[in-house]
Amino acid sequence: MVIIMNPDATASDIKGVIEVIQNAGLTAKVMEGAQQQIVGVIGDKTKLGSVAIDALPGVEQSVSISKSYKLVSREFHPQSSVIDVDGVSIGGDEFVVMAGPCAVESREQLFEAAEIAKKGGAQFLRGGAYKPRTSPYSFQGLEEEGLKYLAEAKERTGLRIVTEVTEVEAVEVVAEYADLLQIGARNMQNFRLLKEVGRCNKPVLLKRGLAATLNEWLNAAEYILNEGNPNVIFCERGIRSYETYTRNTLDLSAVAAVKHLSHLPIIVDPSHGTGKWRLVKPMALAAVATGADGIIMEMHPNPAKALSDGPQSLTPDNYYDLMKDVTKLAKFMKAENIQCVDLS
Amino acid sequence: MVIIMNPDATASDIKGVIEVIQNAGLTAKVMEGAQQQIVGVIGDKTKLGSVAIDALPGVEQSVSISKSYKLVSREFHPQSSVIDVDGVSIGGDEFVVMAGPCAVESREQLFEAAEIAKKGGAQFLRGGAYKPRTSPYSFQGLEEEGLKYLAEAKERTGLRIVTEVTEVEAVEVVAEYADLLQIGARNMQNFRLLKEVGRCNKPVLLKRGLAATLNEWLNAAEYILNEGNPNVIFCERGIRSYETYTRNTLDLSAVAAVKHLSHLPIIVDPSHGTGKWRLVKPMALAAVATGADGIIMEMHPNPAKALSDGPQSLTPDNYYDLMKDVTKLAKFMKAENIQCVDLS
Amino acid sequence: MVIIMNPDATASDIKGVIEVIQNAGLTAKVMEGAQQQIVGVIGDKTKLGSVAIDALPGVEQSVSISKSYKLVSREFHPQSSVIDVDGVSIGGDEFVVMAGPCAVESREQLFEAAEIAKKGGAQFLRGGAYKPRTSPYSFQGLEEEGLKYLAEAKERTGLRIVTEVTEVEAVEVVAEYADLLQIGARNMQNFRLLKEVGRCNKPVLLKRGLAATLNEWLNAAEYILNEGNPNVIFCERGIRSYETYTRNTLDLSAVAAVKHLSHLPIIVDPSHGTGKWRLVKPMALAAVATGADGIIMEMHPNPAKALSDGPQSLTPDNYYDLMKDVTKLAKFMKAENIQCVDLS
Amino acid sequence: MVIIMNPDATASDIKGVIEVIQNAGLTAKVMEGAQQQIVGVIGDKTKLGSVAIDALPGVEQSVSISKSYKLVSREFHPQSSVIDVDGVSIGGDEFVVMAGPCAVESREQLFEAAEIAKKGGAQFLRGGAYKPRTSPYSFQGLEEEGLKYLAEAKERTGLRIVTEVTEVEAVEVVAEYADLLQIGARNMQNFRLLKEVGRCNKPVLLKRGLAATLNEWLNAAEYILNEGNPNVIFCERGIRSYETYTRNTLDLSAVAAVKHLSHLPIIVDPSHGTGKWRLVKPMALAAVATGADGIIMEMHPNPAKALSDGPQSLTPDNYYDLMKDVTKLAKFMKAENIQCVDLS
CATH code at B23?
Answer: 3.30.70.1140
- pLDDT of B344 higher than 90: no
Please, are residues B161 and B150 in contact by the beta-carbon 8 Å criterion? yes
The mean-pLDDT minimum among A251-265, C55-69, C249-263 falls in C55-69
What is the percentage of chain C residues whose pLDDT exceeds 90? 72
Domain end position, chosen among B34, B63, B92: B63
For the stretch B203-221, pLDDT in tens is 999 999 999 999 999 999 9
Q: Region D80-104: what's the mean pLDDT?
A: 97
Residues of A in contact with C75 (CB under 8 A): 7-8
For the stretch D2-40, pLDDT in tens is 888 887 888 888 888 888 888 888 888 887 776 778 888
pLDDT of the residue at D49:
60
For the stretch D112-161, pLDDT in tens is 999 999 999 999 999 999 999 999 988 899 999 999 999 999 999 999 99
Closest CA to A310 of A327, A298, A323: A298
B253 touching chain A per CB within 8 A: no
Domain end position, chosen among B12, B33, B63: B63
Residues of C in contact with D190 (CB under 8 A): 186-187, 190
pLDDT of the residue at D322:
97
The mean-pLDDT minimum among A137-141, A181-185, C263-267 falls in A137-141
Comparing D264 with D309, the larger pLDDT belongs to: D264
Residues of B in contact with A209 (CB under 8 A): 210
- pLDDT of A67 higher than 80: no
For the stretch A81-120, pLDDT in tens is 999 999 999 999 999 999 999 999 999 999 999 999 999 9
User: Can you tell me the distance from the alpha carbon of A310 to that of B52, in angstroms, rounded to the nearest whole number?
Assistant: 5
For the stretch B94-105, pLDDT in tens is 999 999 999 999
For the stretch A192-228, pLDDT in tens is 999 999 999 999 999 999 999 999 999 999 999 999 9
User: Can you tell me the distance from the alpha carbon of A90 to that of A296, in angstroms, rounded to the nearest whole number?
Assistant: 12
Please, are residues A238 and D234 in contact by the beta-carbon 8 Å criterion? no
Residues of A in contact with B191 (CB under 8 A): 132-133, 136, 166, 186
Question: What is the average pLDDT score of chain B?
Answer: 91
Question: What is the average pLDDT score of chain C?
Answer: 91
When pLDDT is cut at 50, 70 and 90, the band that residue A310 belongs to is low
- Identify whether residues B50 and B134 lie together within a single domain: no
- Identify whether residues C183 and C310 lie together within a single domain: yes
Q: Is residue D69 part of a domain?
A: no
Give the DSSP letter string of B140-191: ---THHHHHHHHHHHHHH--EEEEE--SGGGHHHHHHH-SEEEEPGGGTT-H
**Which residue in chain C has the smallest CA separation from D49?**
C307
User: Can you tell me the distance from the alpha carbon of D65 to that of D209, in angstroms, rounded to the nearest whole number?
Assistant: 24
User: Subunits that touch chain A (at least 3 Cβ pairs < 8 angstroms)?
Assistant: B, C, D
pLDDT of the residue at D279:
95
Answer yes or no: do D245 and A282 touch at CB < 8 A: no
A52 touching chain B per CB within 8 A: yes
Q: Is residue C57 part of a domain?
A: yes
Comparing D294 with B13, the larger pLDDT belongs to: D294
User: Can you tell me the distance from the alpha carbon of C8 to that of C29, in angstroms, rounded to the nearest whole number?
Assistant: 19
Please, are residues D141 and D186 in contact by the beta-carbon 8 Å criterion? no
Q: Is residue C245 part of a domain?
A: yes
pLDDT of the residue at B46:
65
D198 touching chain C per CB within 8 A: no
- Amino acid C288 reads V
Interface probe with D: pick from B2, B10, B260, most Cβ of D within 10 Å: B2
- Identify whether residues A58 and A161 lie together within a single domain: no
C11 touching chain D per CB within 8 A: no
Q: Is residue A70 part of a domain?
A: no
pLDDT of the residue at C41:
82
ipTM for the predicted complex comes to 0.91
Q: Is residue D76 part of a domain?
A: no
- pLDDT of A46 higher than 70: no
For the stretch C139-155, pLDDT in tens is 889 999 999 999 999 99
Q: Is residue A14 part of a domain?
A: yes
Domain that holds residue C59: 2-63
pLDDT of the residue at A106:
94
A92 touching chain B per CB within 8 A: no
- pLDDT of C343 higher than 60: no
- pLDDT of D343 higher than 60: no
DSSP D186: G
Q: Is residue B266 part of a domain?
A: yes
Letter string b/e over residues C256-291, b meaning 16 or more CB atoms within 10 A of that residue's CB: bbbbbbbbbbbbbbbbbbbbbbbbbbbbbbbbbbbb
- Identify whether residues C309 and C169 lie together within a single domain: yes
Considering CB atoms only, which of D243, D282, D288 is closest to A291? D282
- pLDDT of C200 higher than 70: yes
- pLDDT of B310 higher than 80: no
When pLDDT is cut at 50, 70 and 90, the band that residue C309 belongs to is low
D139 touching chain C per CB within 8 A: yes
Q: Region B296-310: what's the mean pLDDT?
A: 78
Answer yes or no: do B245 and C257 touch at CB < 8 A: yes
The mean-pLDDT minimum among A45-54, A294-303, B226-235 falls in A45-54
User: Can you tell me the distance from the alpha carbon of C269 to that of C283, in angstroms, rounded to the nearest whole number?
Assistant: 9
- pLDDT of C57 higher than 90: no
D67 touching chain C per CB within 8 A: no
pLDDT of the residue at D46:
65
Q: Is residue C95 part of a domain?
A: yes
Please, are residues C150 and C177 in contact by the beta-carbon 8 Å criterion? yes
User: Can you tell me the distance from the alpha carbon of B27 to that of B23, in angstroms, rounded to the nearest whole number?
Assistant: 9
pLDDT of the residue at B68:
84
User: Subunits that touch chain C (at least 3 Cβ pairs < 8 angstroms)?
Assistant: A, B, D
C331 touching chain B per CB within 8 A: no
- Identify whether residues C94 and C54 lie together within a single domain: no
CATH number at residue B258: 3.20.20.70
Counting Cβ atoms within 10 Å, is residue C155 exposed (0-12), middle (13-18) or buried (19+)? exposed
Runs of H (alpha helix) within chain A: 11-23, 107-120, 144-157, 171-177, 191-198, 214-226, 253-261, 270-274, 280-289, 316-335
- Identify whether residues C92 and C132 lie together within a single domain: yes
When pLDDT is cut at 50, 70 and 90, the band that residue D310 belongs to is low
- Identify whether residues C46 and C193 lie together within a single domain: no
Please, are residues C224 and C198 in contact by the beta-carbon 8 Å criterion? yes
pLDDT of the residue at D24:
80
When pLDDT is cut at 50, 70 and 90, the band that residue B22 belongs to is confident
Answer yes or no: do B50 and A308 touch at CB < 8 A: yes
When pLDDT is cut at 50, 70 and 90, the band that residue B7 belongs to is confident
Considering CB atoms only, which of D257, D282, D342 is closest to A340? D282
Answer yes or no: do C282 and B243 touch at CB < 8 A: no
Q: Mind telling me how many Å the CA of A118 is from chain B's nearest CA?
A: 23
Distances (CA, A) of C170 to C185, C195, D224: 17, 13, 20
B218 touching chain C per CB within 8 A: no
Please, are residues A68 and B137 in contact by the beta-carbon 8 Å criterion? yes
- Identify whether residues B231 and B261 lie together within a single domain: yes
Considering CB atoms only, which of A68, A192, A303 is closest to B137? A68
Q: Mind telling me how many Å the CA of C184 is from chain A's nearest CA?
A: 20
Answer yes or no: do D244 and B240 touch at CB < 8 A: no
- Identify whether residues D22 and D140 lie together within a single domain: no
- Identify whether residues B146 and B54 lie together within a single domain: no
B228 touching chain D per CB within 8 A: no
- pLDDT of D342 higher than 70: no
Distances (CA, A) of D228 to B55, D71, D199, D222: 37, 10, 6, 10
pLDDT of the residue at D309:
66
Considering CB atoms only, which of A274, A332, A338 is closest to D253? A274
Q: Mind telling me how many Å the CA of A111 is from chain C's nearest CA?
A: 38
Q: Region D155-182: what's the mean pLDDT?
A: 98
Sign of CA dihedral D65, D67, D68, D70: negative
For the stretch C159-178, pLDDT in tens is 999 999 999 999 999 999 99
C254 Cβ neighbours under 8 A, 6+ residues apart: C208, C214, C236, C266
Residues of C in contact with D191 (CB under 8 A): 132-133, 136, 166
Phi, psi of C317 (to 5 degrees): -65, -40
Q: How many domains is chain A partitioned into structurally?
A: 2
Question: What is the average pLDDT score of chain D?
Answer: 91
- pLDDT of B342 higher than 70: no
- pLDDT of A307 higher than 70: no
Residues of C in contact with D132 (CB under 8 A): 189, 191
Interface probe with B: pick from C253, C276, C312, C342, most Cβ of B within 10 Å: C253
User: Can you tell me the distance from the alpha carbon of D275 to that of D185, in angstroms, rounded to the nearest whole number?
Assistant: 15
D87 φψ region: left (φ > 0), alpha (ψ -120 to 50), beta (else): left
- Identify whether residues D122 and D7 lie together within a single domain: no
For the stretch D218-247, pLDDT in tens is 999 999 999 999 999 999 999 999 999 999
- Identify whether residues A173 and A316 lie together within a single domain: yes
Highest mean pLDDT among A49-58, A232-241, D4-13: A232-241
